[in-house]
Chains A and B, each alone.
Chain A
Amino acid sequence: QKEVEQNSGPLSVPEGAIASLNCTYSDRGSQSFFWYRQYSGKSPELIMFIYSNGDKEDGRFTAQLNKASQYVSLLIRDSQPSDSATYLCAVNGRMDSSYKLIFGSGTRLLVRP
C-alpha cells in the first residue's frame, strides 16, 4: 500500500515565524510532489509542486525534496494568520496501471496573531 504520512498537528506558530511542514512517502518511484492548502469548508488549492531534489522557492513558500530519504517539506516564512489552514502533501504514484495522486491526511497549521 503506497502511503503518504503527515503529522496531523495542529502546528502552532506565532505570526512572523517560519512554519515547517513535513511529509514522508513510501513509493520510491514517485516523481512529482505537491503541496495543497485547504481552508475549512473549501476545496484544496495548489501552493507548489516540486520534481527535483533540493529546494524550490515561490514567494514566502519553499518546498524541499529529498528523494533518498523519501521526504518532502514545505516552509512558510513570515507566517500570517491567513496561512492558518490544513496543508495537504500529495505524491504521484502508479497504481493499477494508472497514475494517481496519493494524499496525506494533512497537517493543520495555526498562526497566532
Chain B
Amino acid sequence: GAVVSQHPSRVICKSGTSVKIECRSLDFQATTMFWYRQFPKQSLMLMATSNEGSKATYEQGVEKDKFLINHASLTLSTLTVASAHPEDSSFYICSASVGLAGYTDTQYFGPGTRLTVL
C-alpha cells in the first residue's frame, strides 16, 4: 500500500515552456502533499505544502507565481513550472501524507520527475 505515482518521469523542454507535473496517491487519500526539489548531490529541498481544497504554503524563497500548485482532490496534486528556464532544471519529487491536516505523518514519495530545460 501507500503508492504514489508521478507523471511524467522525465521532461526535456525549451526555455520559456510551461511544464505540468502530476502527483497521485494511488491507494490512499492524501490529506497533504508536498513538493520537493533536489539538485545533484544535494539533499531534498521542500518547495511547498499543499492541502486539498486550499492554497499551497510555499517555503521561503520559492516563487509562488513560478511554481503553481493545485491540489484538486485527495488523490491529485499538480505542480506547474511556469516559463521554465535552464536554472529550473532539477529533480522534482512529490510526497503524500495520510496524517491529519496540519500534522505531518509518514510521507510516501513518488518516483520523481527529472526536468531538463534547454
Contact = CB atoms under 8 A, between A and B. Distances in A.
B106 A100 contact: no
B102 A98 contact: yes
A54 interface: no
Contacts of B46: 100-101
Nearest to B106: A49
Contacts of A98: 49, 57, 102, 104
Which of the four size classes fits the interface of chain B? 20 to 34
Interface stretch (A19-27, A38-46, A63-71, A75-83): A38-46
Contacts of B33: none
A32 B105 contact: yes
A43 B106 contact: no
B8 interface: no
Contact of A42 (B34, B105, B108, B111): B111
Contact of A88 (B43, B102, B103, B112): B43
A46 B103 contact: no
Contact of B49 (A32, A36, A90, A100): A100
Given A42-B112, A98-B57, A88 B106 contact: no
26 contacts: A34-B107, A36-B109, A41-B91, A43-B93, A43-B109, A43-B110, A43-B111, A43-B112, A45-B109, A46-B106, A46-B107, A46-B108, A46-B109, A49-B106, A96-B57, A98-B49, A98-B104, A99-B102, A100-B46, A100-B49, A101-B34, A101-B46, A101-B104, A103-B44, A104-B43, A105-B43
Interface of B: 34, 42-44, 46, 49, 57, 91, 93, 99, 102-112
Interface of A: 32, 34, 36, 41-46, 49, 88, 90, 92, 96-101, 103-106
